[in-house]
Amino acid sequence: MERSVYAESLRGESSAVRKRDNVLRTLAKASDRVMATFFVICGFASIALVVIITAFLVSSGVPAIHEVGFKDFMFGKVWTPTSENAQFGILPFILSSFYATIAAVVLSVPLGILTAVFITKFAGEKLASLLSSAVEMLAGIPSVVYGLLGMIYVVPTVRNVFELPDGACLFSAVIVLAVMLLPSVISVSASAIRTVPREYEEGSLALGANDTETIFKVTLPAAKSGISAAVVLGIGRAVGEAMAVMMVSGNVPNMPKLFGSVRFLTTAVASEMSYSSGLHREALFSVALVLFVFILGINMLLNFLTRKGKN
Amino acid sequence: MNGNNTAFRRTKSGALKAAIYFSAAVVCILAVTVAAVVLIKGLPHISISFLTEKPSLLKGTTGILPNILNTLYIIFFTMIIVIPLGIGAAIYLNEYAKNKKLTNLIGLAAETLSGIPSIIYGLVGMLIFVQFCGFGTSLVAGSLTLVIMTLPTIMRTAEESLKAVPQSYREGALALGSGKWRMLRTVVLPSAVDGIITGVILSVGRITGESAALFFTAGMANEIYGLAQAASSGNAGSTLTVSLYMYAKERGEFDTAFAIAAILLLLTVLLNFGAKYVQKHFSNRT
């Protein structure tokens, strides 16, 4: 008796239930579709952003290069944007950026790689994790803090040691940059070294090579592509750094001299943008465009190296 | 001859080992010095009034409350936009996209974005958000610029943790009759939450330390804004890093600069440990 009442009530509800289920199912399908569209849009956002950034930089950077002339712009040695006979040569910026980057990389790469070797091969577990934390701390420090330390400690020291009228120069910028590159060089090379199979090293040791020979002739060559990625990453960082080097380089658009005040591609943009106008402003956009092209080149190289490393 | 060779090998090995120890020592000393100098020179200048007031020329006092608030606003605005955007992109790459070439292209675009230096972001942000979109030099323009800058980080970390979610979870959910979005929302995203949190912490760290990208987009004002004011266009404000630059380079107030530097150092260390803790916590759990 009870059972049949129950069945009766089920039958009565069933059409309502079915209706509700149908509504829910339609809703679920609709939300599936909406969310799928949303995800597609998000997925393409990064491509769109790269295109937009490139478009804005090219469209605002090309006019001034066109007006000044490509050759005069890229290879002109004089940058006097505000004088009556305005000249827009950015060779001093390009060369300063180039020299500072090379020098900083030369200083920090050997130091970084050797430290990575120490962390991965020589240090005990505790010491290694302590050092890694220290490196992470260095990596996390904002660039303006490095700039501040450079202003207060590096610049006066350089002035006193080399007996210069002013310590804010290319050399100080190189020191600050080298310190700033260290953390990323160390962490990327350390992870490259960690991927080298233990058997390689055991083979080398079994053949009678001692531990340093094994590291320098087997481990490091095997980790070559990861380590070169670290170097290229460092180059990209050094070329792109603005605030810290602006605080220690003196910021005068001279052709680069080791103990002379210099201005880089980045600092030219950062320091003059706020007061520039007209062709001067457009020329600064062109400087940014040149910097962007350099960075794209470095990125492509980095990409190539990391892909090679994966294979 | 053989003896000579062994002696030579031993000397060379010893020299290289010395170089390795020396490098590690240099890095160690560097880290300790940097931290010690910043804290010793900065901490004594931090006081309650320094943290809770705005700079006043009349009273001749400096306070960094506006800069603290601006930093928080920018972090908040950036995150509410970049988190859905970045996770959405990661979901698209990992759950929807089938064309390998296309996903490679998106990955390449993300890598390109992550390699662009912040000064270029600053310039592009100025062109796009300040001028083209008409937000003016404002916290909003600064935040939108940082959205582009932090997008690759959020995308990559979210994608990595999505990849780590076992395929059987998805199949189980689908077999129980769930739709794709329901499956993602109730099964996949909760299992990928560790990578998402790590990415968020990393991005917050990057924003806290960012200066060049905010220089021309968010401006240099030291006013105290409410949330609504901060979100409206035209209200410029400097974050901690930008104000550090201004105090050090433009005004020569190094005590204030070091005090801000100490705060920034502590914040970044805190965020670092936060990210590590999250990773450890979640890897222990599974």
Report helix angle B139-164 to A2-68, nearest 10. 120
Count of C-beta atoms within a 10 Å radius of residue A72 = 16
The residues in A 273-292 lying below 8 A from B, measured between CB atoms, are 273-274, 285, 288, 291-292
Distance, CA of A224 to CA of B196 (rounded, Å):
31
CB pairs under 8 A between A and B: 247
Distance, CA of A53 to CA of A56 (rounded, Å):
5
Distance, CA of B138 to CA of B128 (rounded, Å):
13
Q: What angle do CA A127, A133, A138 make, to 5 degrees?
A: 125
Distance, CA of B146 to CA of B168 (rounded, Å):
37
Q: Is residue B188 within 8 Å of B164, Cβ to Cβ?
A: no
Residue count (chain A)? 311
CA dihedral sign, ordered A287, A289, A293, A295: positive
Asked whether the predicted pLDDT for residue B284 surpasses 70, the reply is no
At B45, is the pLDDT very low, low, confident or very high (cuts 50, 70, 90)?
A: confident
Nearest CB partner across the interface for B268, out of A49, A140, A242 = A140
What does the pLDDT read at residue A98? 93
Nearest CA in chain B to A54: B124
Q: A141-178 burial by CB neighbour count: b if 16+ within 10 A, else e?
A: bbbbbbbbbbbbbbbeebbeeeebeebbbbbbbbbbbb
Look at the domain A90-310 and name its fold: MetI-like fold (1.10.3720)
The residues spanned by each domain of chain B are 2-45, 50-285
What is the identity of the amino acid at A295? I
What does the pLDDT read at residue B285? 55
Look at the domain B50-285 and name its fold: MetI-like fold (1.10.3720)
Distance, CA of A154 to CA of A230 (rounded, Å):
26
Residue with token string 């916590």: B281
Mutate to test the interface with A, among B67, B82, B83, B124 (most CBs of A within 10 A): B124
At B143, is the pLDDT very low, low, confident or very high (cuts 50, 70, 90)?
A: very high
Average pLDDT of chain A to the nearest whole number: 88
Q: Percent of chain B, pLDDT > 90?
A: 49
Count of C-beta atoms within a 10 Å radius of residue A275 = 9
Reported as a single tens digit per residue, the pLDDT across A181-203 is 999 999 999 999 999 999 999 99
What tokens were used for B250?
Answer: 């433009």
Closest C-alpha among A79, A235, A281 to residue B117: A235
The three-class DSSP label of residue B252 is coil
Contact between chains at A115 and B24 (C-beta distance less than 8 A): yes
Q: Is residue A287 within 8 Å of A268, Cβ to Cβ?
A: yes
Reported as a single tens digit per residue, the pLDDT across B161-214 is 999 899 999 999 999 988 889 899 999 999 888 888 989 998 999 999 999 899
Mutate to test the interface with B, among A109, A144, A217 (most CBs of B within 10 A): A144
Reported as a single tens digit per residue, the pLDDT across A66-103 is 888 888 888 888 888 887 778 888 899 999 999 999 99
At A250, is the pLDDT very low, low, confident or very high (cuts 50, 70, 90)?
A: confident
Q: Is residue B68 within 8 Å of B54, Cβ to Cβ?
A: no
Contact between chains at A28 and B20 (C-beta distance less than 8 A): no
CA distance B228 to chain A (A): 27
CA distance A180 to chain B (A): 11
Mutate to test the interface with B, among A40, A49, A107, A287 (most CBs of B within 10 A): A49
Interval B152-159 mean pLDDT = 92
Asked whether the predicted pLDDT for residue B221 surpasses 70, the reply is yes
Reported as a single tens digit per residue, the pLDDT across B65-106 is 889 999 999 999 999 999 999 999 999 999 898 888 999 999
What does the pLDDT read at residue B3? 58
Distance, CA of B94 to CA of B189 (rounded, Å):
12
Asked whether the predicted pLDDT for residue A1 surpasses 50, the reply is no
CA distance A12 to chain B (A): 25
Closest C-alpha among A308, A289, A309, A14 to residue A189: A309
What does the pLDDT read at residue A10? 57
What does the pLDDT read at residue B34? 94
